[in-house]
Amino acid sequence: MYSLPQSYNQTSKCKRCICPNAYGSTDNSGQICQHYTILYNNIILINQINQGVSAARNLGLEMARGKFICFVDGDDYLISNGLSIVFNSYTLKDNPDVTIYQRYIIKNHFDYLAEEKIERQRGKRLFVGNGHNYILNQGLIFNVTLAFFKRSFLMENNLKFLNYTIAEDFLFFTSVLLLNPAIISTSYNIYRYIVHENSITTTRSSKQAQKCVHDYLSVMKNIQQQLSNINDKAQSIYNIYTKAMNLNSFYIYKKILIANYSTSTYTSIINEFKKAKLLPIIHTGTNLKCIIGYSIINILTYIPILYKPTSFIYNRILAKYILKL
């Protein structure tokens, strides 16, 4: 819960800091939040049955009263005064629907000593325009924690998080961009994203992996349906989306290996990935590790009988003793 005190280490005071807490949590986050509600009267603690991150964020959206909204995951944090400087420099002056900022990724531990003071950064505008042109010029955004959102824009378009275990951020942000909002993107790097090995995206449970694969396909179909409703620049946006998600299939294919499907189920799922143009992976880079990985996946795409032995080798040998992922 380092994000909570950091939320107040800003020169601009937030109107509400909403903290959904799941009953039965074992990380003492509820007690920490309760402590801060005593210190600050605009911190709101909401205890609820654990329904996942999407339900928690939707609850936050319902309870929010400020003009702008940003999301911070419980283990992540914002650097000191970062939120305030971005808000005062761009959001407050230009009043966009979305203000985008940057992040660093930190694995398994908090790296406080490496924190860069916001005053030393020379922030600049990276993009000014609308959502469609942002996709065409800057690409897609996979994390909802990298922006301010104007609350009225979210409410007017009835934007909510759907209950998926994976890619719910990507679906939400893509839905925002496809609605063509006014956007400003800044080079300020203020968000610190903490990666834990026991997170949903790194778990090795076959049941959880199957759920991830199912949800991932559902998210992709949802986005493709939204793309079919766009007329202006639709094909160009679709091409960028397809290329990005095709390369991202390297990540989701690891989930397919962990899922330990039967050969028939595997074949059915791979056909869905092919139909969505997520497989085979089209790679034009020169990184040898990636070339080997993509090539193996593409071979398995066309020869399903190799899936079961490859899944066994990956889970029992490579992941356990060599990759240590």
Span 211-252, pLDDT tens digits: 999 999 999 999 989 988 887 778 899 889 988 888 888 889
pLDDT at 325: 44
Peptide linkage before 304 cis (omega within 30 of 0)? no
pLDDT at 320: 73
Lowest-pLDDT range of 148-152, 200-204, 291-295: 200-204
Residue the block writes with tokens 């719910």: 168
- CA distances 221 to 13, 94, 172, Å, are 40, 34, 13
pLDDT at 270: 96
| pLDDT category of residue 27 using cuts at 50, 70 and 90 | low
pLDDT at 292: 86
pLDDT at 247: 82
Which amino acid type is present at position 118?
Answer: I
Element (H, E) at 218: helix 206-228
Looking at per-residue pLDDT, the higher value among 177 and 19 belongs to 177
pLDDT at 213: 95
Average pLDDT, the chain: 85
Looking at per-residue pLDDT, the higher value among 32 and 312 belongs to 312
Looking at per-residue pLDDT, the higher value among 156 and 89 belongs to 156
3-class SS shares of the chain: helix, strand, coil, % to 5: 55, 15, 30
Looking at per-residue pLDDT, the higher value among 105 and 300 belongs to 300
Q: Quick one: tokens of 70?
A: 């940003």
pLDDT at 170: 95
pLDDT at 10: 59
Whether residue 132 contacts residue 233, with contact meaning beta carbons closer than 8 Å, is answered with yes
Q: What is the largest CA-CA distance in the chain?
A: 61
CA-atom Rg of the chain in angstroms: 21
- For residue 46, the SS3 value is strand
Residue 9 phi, psi (nearest 5): -90, 50
CA nearest to 46, candidates 64, 12, 22, 82: 22
Residue the block writes with tokens 């060599």: 322
CA quadruple 300, 305, 307, 309: dihedral, nearest 10: -130
pLDDT at 49: 78
CA nearest to 15, candidates 176, 106, 151: 151
What letter would DSSP give residue 262? Answer: -
Percent of the chain with pLDDT over 90: 47
| pLDDT category of residue 23 using cuts at 50, 70 and 90 | low
pLDDT at 113: 42
Which amino acid type is present at position 95?
Answer: N
Cα separation, 172 vs 177, in Å, equals 9
pLDDT at 291: 86
Is the pLDDT reported for residue 28 higher than 80?
Answer: no
35-72: pLDDT as tens digits: 877 787 878 888 877 888 899 899 999 989 889 999 99
Mean pLDDT of 136-157: 95
Looking at per-residue pLDDT, the higher value among 81 and 212 belongs to 212
266-309: pLDDT as tens digits: 999 999 999 988 899 987 778 888 888 889 999 999 999 999 99
Cα separation, 162 vs 169, in Å, equals 9
Is beta strand 182-195 parallel, antiparallel or unpaired with respect to 98-107?
Answer: parallel
* Burial letters 117-139, b for 16+ CB under 10 A, else e: ebeebebeebeebbbbbbbeebe
What letter would DSSP give residue 91? Answer: I
pLDDT at 125: 92
Q: Where are the alpha helices (DSSP H) in 19-145?
A: 29-39, 53-63, 82-86, 92-94, 131-138
